Amino acid sequence: MKLIADSGSTKTDWILMSSSGVRYDFKSEGINPFFHTPDTVAKTLRATSFEPFSHADVDEVYFYSAGTSNTHNQRIMQEGFRQVFPKAHLELMHDLLGAARALFQHDNGIACILGTGSNSCLYIDDKITMNLGGHGYILGDEGSGMHIGRKVLRDFMSDLMPEDIKELFDKEFGLSKDEISFSVYKKTFPNRYLASFSVFVQKYVDHPYFAALVDDAFSKFLDRYILQYPDYTDYPIRVLGSIGYYFEPELNKCAAERDLSIDHIIKSPIEGLLKFHSDGL
C-alpha cells in the first residue's frame, strides 16, 4: 500500500491507497523536524491511526514536510519514520517540492507556499532550480499566517492598535500581554500560535487597519521572493496554502500592482500529490 502525506507546521493530510485502489483519508498534527526529535516523530506517527490498516501494512511512504531541506533535519525524519515503517520504501521530501508538484505536476513555473510559513521556488523540468524564502518564523516567512499574526500581536503589545480593533481583539481573545509573551517564548510551536491570529485578521480584513497590514505582508513576500527571480515574467505563478486561499483577493491585488498574475491558488497540495504519485512517479 502507498501512503502519501503533506505536513505543514500545523497539520498533516494523509492519503492511503490500498492495493485494491481504495482511498482512505486521515489527518494528524504537523511534523516539522525543527520542533521534533526522531523519538517524537515516531511518537506522532504511532498516534496516527490508519484503520482499518496498520502501519505494518504500508509498503511505500511519500512524505512532504516543512523543514526537511537540510541534512540534519532529514536525518531526524529518517530515524523517526524508520522506527515506525521499518520495511517500507521511504521518500521524505521538502514541502516546497510537494507544493511545486501539486501546483504544476510536470509543467514549469514559480510555486509559492503561503500557509503557517512561506516559501517559493522556480520549478523547471520536475526539479527545484532556485529557491527564495523559507528562512523560518524568526528570519523569514513574510506573507505567511505567522507573519500576519505576529504583526497583530506586536501592535497589541506596543499599544499601537486602533481602539476599535483593540476592543474586538479583547472580546475575541481576552488575553493579557503576559499570557501572549508566555505562549510565544515558553510554549512549543510558537509559529503555530502566531499564525492562529491570522484567522482574526481575515474576519475583519475589510477594516483599513487590517487591509494595510495584510497589504504590507504580501508586498514583502512578492518583492523579496517573486520579483527577484530572473525572468520571473516568463513563468506562471501559483500559490498553495490557507493564507493564499483565504486572502486571495488581497493577494491578487498586491500582485496586480506589480503587474503579476497568479493563475491558480489552492488550499492543500494533497490532491495534486495523489495525482502526481498515481502516475507512478
In DSSP notation, 16-45 reads EE-TTS-EEEEEEE---GGG--HHHHHHHH
Surface-to-core class of residue 137, CB atoms within 10 Å of its CB (0-12 exposed, 13-18 middle, 19+ buried): buried
* Residues written for the chain: 281
* DSSP bridge partners of 266: 240
Omega before 52 cis (within 30°)? yes
Which pairing describes strands 262-266 and 237-240: parallel, antiparallel, or unpaired?
A: parallel
Q: Which helix (DSSP H) or strand (DSSP E) does residue 276 occupy? A: helix 270-278
The answer to whether 113 and 241 have CB atoms below 8 angstroms apart is yes
Domain ranges of the chain: 2-99+270-278
Q: How far apart are CA 164 and CA 105, in angstroms?
A: 46
pLDDT in tens, the chain (281 residues): 899 999 876 789 999 988 788 899 998 888 888 778 999 999 999 988 888 888 999 999 999 987 787 888 889 999 999 999 999 999 999 989 999 999 999 999 999 999 989 999 999 999 999 999 988 778 879 999 999 999 999 999 999 999 999 999 999 999 999 999 999 999 988 999 999 999 999 999 999 999 999 999 999 999 999 999 999 999 999 999 999 999 999 999 999 999 999 999 999 899 999 999 986 43
* Listed residue (63, 77, 68) closest to 269, CA to CA: 63
pTM of the model: 0.86
Q: What is the DSSP letter of 232?
A: G
Distance, CA of 41 to CA of 192 (rounded, Å): 17
> Looking at the DSSP assignment, which residues form a beta bridge with residue 5?
14, 63
Burial class (CB in 10 A: 0-12, 13-18, 19+), 136: middle
What CATH topology corresponds to 2-99+270-278? Nucleotidyltransferase; domain 5 (3.30.420)
